[in-house]
Amino acid sequence: MEEPYEPNWLFQGQWIDIDGRDRTADETCGGTFAYVDAYAGALAVEFGVTEHLGPYRWYSPEQYAADLPCGDDITACFVPDEQCIHSPVLPHTHEVVHMAEFATVNCPGVLSEGLAVFYSSAFGRDAKTSSFDRLVAIMETPTEPHEYGMLGRFMAYLVEHFGVEAVLDVCRITGRYPDGPALSAALESVLGMTTKELLANFEPELGPSCNHSRDYQSRVFACGAAQAAPDLGLVSVDGEHAIDVTFTLDCANDIMVGPLGNKMWLTRRFNIDADDTYFASMWGEDGVEIPELELTLAKCEPCGKSRTLLGPFIGPEELTAGRYSLQVHAPADFRGSVNVTIEH
């Protein structure tokens, strides 16, 4: 008789619990577990979820290869019957999106993967304008998603114009396995347009200015309704309010997330009160060299202006009123304090 599985709880949060399968807590940065939980909470607010989402089983590469919890050649998965994520990577926010979605409604594949790409924090799912014809074909077989980048970009369009709740309402009508005509009928019922009409409206919005995932993604952690990222406050045009903050970048620090791809990062949010020219800077304190550090400022709006600046630097930035996401990326082995300022 097989022994019952005994989880190795490394973290138990409000939304997600981390089960280390041949893993220990010191194999990730000090803020990663709390970030995964807070990210799940941000998604829960977007999707209307109120209950704890479930476990995230985090495997060592060797254990993942031995267990193959997702089958051959699948790098990570969310298993609805178990309400569990299986992944050798932490954080894997694409699968966290699936977990939050399934706690709400069961979407057909094209909408499910579109949501997961759009609401994920990971880069690399770019949309190619040349893939539009394939998107048209995929929407006729909506349970068989491909071209994930284009699906994410199409979801960005749907959420911008109709809102995520409307997308979820479509899923409530279709269930998991509609055919093309059934999906089109549900889209028309909720959004007022058929699949063909939506795609005709969407195609002119494609272009190099918003086809990269870094441009079209939701940045839900900083930009979502939950306002999950820590707040750096307001930068005002009268000069009375500014950002002047020092971060101690060290993977062991509880503000740092990762590593992924040998990078660690932190995310914050701030507000600009008026359109104008502001000065931004990033430099290492106490003579620390920071040539490999990146500061990304991104407007919280669909395809909002995004700028990635390499440190050290100081210079003018044209910023418009509204909320922004701020991220600092550093090599996983970086240790040192960095000062960031944004002021009029």
Per-residue pLDDT of 113-134, as tens digits, reads: 999 999 999 766 788 888 899 9
The tokens 């502001």 sit on which residue?
278
How many other CB atoms are there within 10 angstroms of residue 344's CB atom? 18
pLDDT at site 208: 84
**DSSP letters along 225-271, please?**
TT--SPEEEEE-TTSSS-EEEEEEE-TTSTT-EEEETTEEEEEEEEE
Q: Tell me what pLDDT residue 104 has.
A: 95
**CA 187: distance to chain centroid?**
25
Q: According to CATH, where is 2.60.120.380 located in the chain?
A: 231-343
- Per-residue pLDDT at 124: 65
For the chain, the C-alpha Rg in angstroms (whole number) is: 21
pLDDT of 277 over the 70 cut: yes
According to DSSP, residue 282 is labeled E
The pLDDT-based confidence of 2 (bands split at 50, 70, 90) is low
Nearest residue to 83 via CA among 168, 19, 172: 19
CATH of region 231-343, choose from 3.20.20.70, 2.60.120.380, 1.10.10.200, 3.30.1330.90: 2.60.120.380
Q: What is the mean predicted confidence (pLDDT) over 325-341?
A: 97
Six-digit token string for 207: 């272009």
Say whether pLDDT at 249 is over 90: yes
d(CA 263, CA 41): 24
Per the prediction, the chain carries an average pLDDT of: 95
What pLDDT does residue 123 have? 63
pLDDT at 300 over 90: yes
* Structural tokens at position 168: 């979820």
Q: Does the pLDDT of residue 3 top 90, yes or no?
A: no
What is residue 31's three-state secondary structure? coil
Nearest to 81 by CA among 99, 57, 68, 64: 99
Q: Single out the residue of 339, 328, 322 nearest to residue 270, CA to CA.
A: 322
Asked if 98 and 16 touch (Cβ cutoff 8 Å), the reply is no
Please provide the CATH number assigned to the domain covering 9-216.
1.10.390
Residue with tokens 């941000």: 42
**What residue spans in the chain does CATH classification 1.10.390 cover?**
9-216
Please compute the mean of the pLDDT values over residues 328-338 and round it to a whole number: 97
For the segment 228-248, the average pLDDT, to the nearest whole number, is 97
Confidence (pTM): 0.96
What does the pLDDT average to over 284-301? 93
User: How does pLDDT run across 29-63, given as a tens digit for each residue?
Assistant: 999 999 999 999 999 999 999 999 999 999 999 99
Q: Residue 287: what pLDDT?
A: 85
